[in-house]
């Protein structure tokens, strides 16, 4: 799920940004932030809680970018370049310049466990995400 799923989610988000005629340079840093928050908070909050906090952090980051671009009328290139640098450094400080090891791999095991006819959530979920996104775009 790591490569295909994360690239799919980045592509969906970036598509919306590109349709609006803007550019987001901070998407990689935002994804890194989400991963670090999930892995860092999982021991205290569990997978669901840490995913919710990571989604909230990503939403706040997007809201800040959006306010600067839409309301303050700052060029999206400049705003997201600044956001990228700020988030990268914040995550560097959070990790103390190192890495955060995952305490459990039960979620990755679930993504690879066959549900029906050899299909895993790793295969099914991208189709669900794309279906929801396609419906949203219509």
Residue boundaries of the structural domains of the chain = 2-103
| Secondary element (H or E) of residue 83 | helix 76-94
Write out pLDDT tens, residues 13-28.
888 889 989 999 999 9
Cβ neighbour number for residue 37 with a 10 Å cutoff: 22
Structure confidence at residue 94 (pLDDT): 92
Q: What is the mean pLDDT of the chain?
A: 88
pLDDT of residue 108: 76
Q: How confident is the model at residue 78 (pLDDT cuts 50, 70, 90)?
A: very high
Predicted confidence (pLDDT) at residue 45 exceeds the cutoff of 70: yes
The string of pLDDT tens digits covering residues 108-131 is 778 788 888 888 888 888 889 899
Mean pLDDT in residue range 84-91: 96
Q: How many C-beta atoms surround the C-beta of residue 27 within 10 A? A: 21
Mean predicted confidence (pLDDT) in 4-12: 77
**Contacts of 90 by beta carbon, 8 Å cutoff, 6+ apart:** 33
Give the model's confidence band at 1: pLDDT under 50 very low, under 70 low, under 90 confident, else very high.
very low
Could you tell me the pTM of the whole model?
Answer: 0.81
């Amino acid at each position: 799920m790591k490569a295909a799923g994360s690239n799919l989610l980045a592509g969906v988000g970036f598509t919306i940004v590109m349709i609006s005629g803007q550019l987001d340079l901070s998407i990689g840093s935002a994804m890194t932030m989400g991963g670090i928050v999930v892995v860092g908070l999982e021991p205290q909050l569990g997978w669901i809680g840490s995913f919710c906090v990571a989604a909230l952090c990503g939403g706040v980051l997007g809201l800040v970018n959006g306010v600067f671009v839409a309301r303050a009328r700052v060029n999206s290139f400049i705003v997201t370049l600044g956001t990228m640098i700020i988030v990268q450094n914040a995550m560097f400080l959070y990790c103390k310049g190192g890495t955060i090891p995952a305490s459990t791999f039960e979620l990755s095991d679930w993504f690879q466990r066959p549900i029906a006819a050899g299909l895993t959530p790793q295969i099914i979920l991208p189709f669900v995400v794309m279906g929801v996104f396609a419906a949203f775009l219509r």
